[in-house]
Amino acid sequence: MTTTVWIILAGAVATYLSRIGGHLVLSRFNRIHPRVEAALDAVPAAVLTTLVAPAAYTGGPAELAALAVAAIVGWRGGLMTMFLVGAAVLIAGRNLF
């Protein structure tokens, strides 16, 4: 197998183990402390920020337009709608510009 396949497999295993590990650790507690719950609630926003920030700083006009449109749609619509519209604008922008 190529190095790329090994990297993908290692990432998949690490992702699976971290998800299962987190579930096993949290399932041992009857109640989760409010601070821990608040921290866990903040994880999706932090992950989304790490994915969006590089495109915002180094992206071209297509990326910036997709970010702007996704932000506007996300303000009013749902999460899935935001992702789909942002991806559509990005694909269209990259093919047109």
Q: Count other C-beta atoms under 10 Å from residue 68's C-beta.
A: 13
Domain boundaries, the chain: 44-97
Local confidence pLDDT in tens for the 97 residues of the chain: 789 999 999 999 998 998 898 888 888 888 888 998 898 889 888 888 888 888 888 989 999 999 999 999 999 988 899 999 999 999 999 998 7
pTM summary value: 0.58
Burial of 65 (0-12, 13-18, 19+ CB in 10 A): middle
Burial class (CB within 10 angstroms; exposed 0-12, middle 13-18, buried 19+) of 86: buried
